[in-house]
Structure formats: structure tokens, C-alpha cells
Amino acid sequence: MSAPHWIGRNDPDAFQQSYVEAAHAVADAARDYQWARLLDLLTRDPGRINAGRLGGSSGYAPLHQAAHGGAPAEVVQALLNLGALRTLRTAAGEQAVDIARQHGYQHLLDLLTPRPTLTFPAAKLATVEAGVHQVIRDREDIQHLLDGTTMRFPPLELLTETPGNELWFPIPGMYGGFHLQLGKVADEPICIVDSWVRVVEGSEERRLVSTGGVLELSIPLN
């Protein structure tokens, strides 16, 4: 299975119109609690399972809307099967389980409670996350793709539950992106950050980020 994708770019102008229309269709179906239509759209194109509305500010992904609308448990399970992440937070910092609890949807609480395969003290994970985000910002050949954009970098909390504890973060216009893999060494969090530009030979870079800082690693030749 390929790593889950994180769609960080939020301005519609960065994408083709057909992509924007498809993204809005998913967001509309989730907002309107049209569960059958939502599942049909996401089954055909699961890439937006953890994305909010393009141009929106709430950060509500389909799982948050399902929690808000008290969707049937089988709908929520279907979203989880498509790759919805329980640890994903809205712009207000709420996970889907928080939203369901606020609205009294007891039938969803157990289903939506995060089940991480890696756990760390929040402060340590936040330190590593800050380092990972700085590695992304510091990649020299993509500065023009980040400046002046509405880009939300991936929260490392997501990698505590993704398959293989990994995530793919594509950058529009880069013809590549950043592959993140979270791990644990001596009970401390680390993250391996691999990045490349597909159309540029030798563009691969690898960094190891820990609470102690960032190390540049060599990439073995295949």
C-alpha cells in the first residue's frame, strides 16, 4: 500500500479546475450529510479522504463531518476503511471523536477514538515536528513554490496511526515532494524525511530529525 497523502496546499488557484470541482463535490457531500454520495466519490477518488474544503478555513475533513452529523457507524467505518485518520484535527484542534462527543453521538465514540501504533510525549513530538517542517522550508529548490502560498504542513501526530507510520507530502509544481516516516529509538521520536524532484536526477535528499536536531544522511545507490 502506498503511503497516505497529505494535501497541504489550500488555495484553489494552485489546481486545475477539474480537480477543484471534484474536491468541492466531496466537501459538499460531506457538509450536506449525503453519505451515499460521499462514499461513492471517495471510493472512486480516495485522495481527498483526509482533506478539508479547498479554500476553506475550518479544516473539516469527511470524518469530521460524519462525526458532526452523527453518521451511522457503518458510514464511519467505511470512511476509516478508505483511510480516514482518527488523529486528524480541525483548524480548531478538534479530532472527530471530540466533535461526536460534543454532539452526544455515543454510538461513534469508540469507533472514532484514535488507536496509535506509536506514542510519544506531546512536547517531544512537537519538537520533532518543528524540525521536520523546517527541513521542508529549507529545501532550496522549492522556496518559490512555498512563498506566498497557503500551505499547511503535515502534523506528525497523523503518522502515529498511518500504515507503516509514513506519509507522502506532495508539493504542487515540485514534481515530487517529501516522504515522512516516524519511528522510535530508545523511546525517543525520530522522523526520516526523504525528498526528491522526479525530473531532476540526483535531487534526492534525506534528513533524520530528532529532538536533538537535524542530521543529513546519505542515500544508498540502488
Residue 7 is assigned to a structural domain of this protein: no
Is the predicted pLDDT of residue 221 greater than 50, yes or no? no
Residue where a domain stops, chosen among 69, 89, 112:
112
4 domain residue, yes or no: no
Q: Which three cell numbers stand for residue 17?
A: 479546475
Q: What's the gap between Cα 70 and its chain centre? A: 23
- Residue 53's domain is classified under what CATH number? 1.25.40.20
Query: Cβ(93)–Cβ(122) under 8 Å?
Result: no
Q: Are residues 96 and 127 in the same domain?
A: no
Q: pLDDT band for position 220 (50/70/90)?
A: low
pLDDT tens sequence across 143-190: 888 876 778 999 999 999 999 999 999 998 888 999 999 999 999 999
Helix (H, G, I), strand (E, B) or coil at 97: helix
**Which amino acid would we find at residue 98?**
D
Establish if 208 belongs to a structural domain: yes
Q: Are residues 22 and 86 in the same domain?
A: yes
Clarify whether residues 129 and 213 are in a common domain. yes
Question: Same domain for 67 and 129?
Answer: no
Structural domain containing residue 62: 12-112
For 6-63, the pLDDT digits (tens) are: 999 888 888 899 999 999 999 999 999 999 999 999 999 999 999 999 999 999 999 9
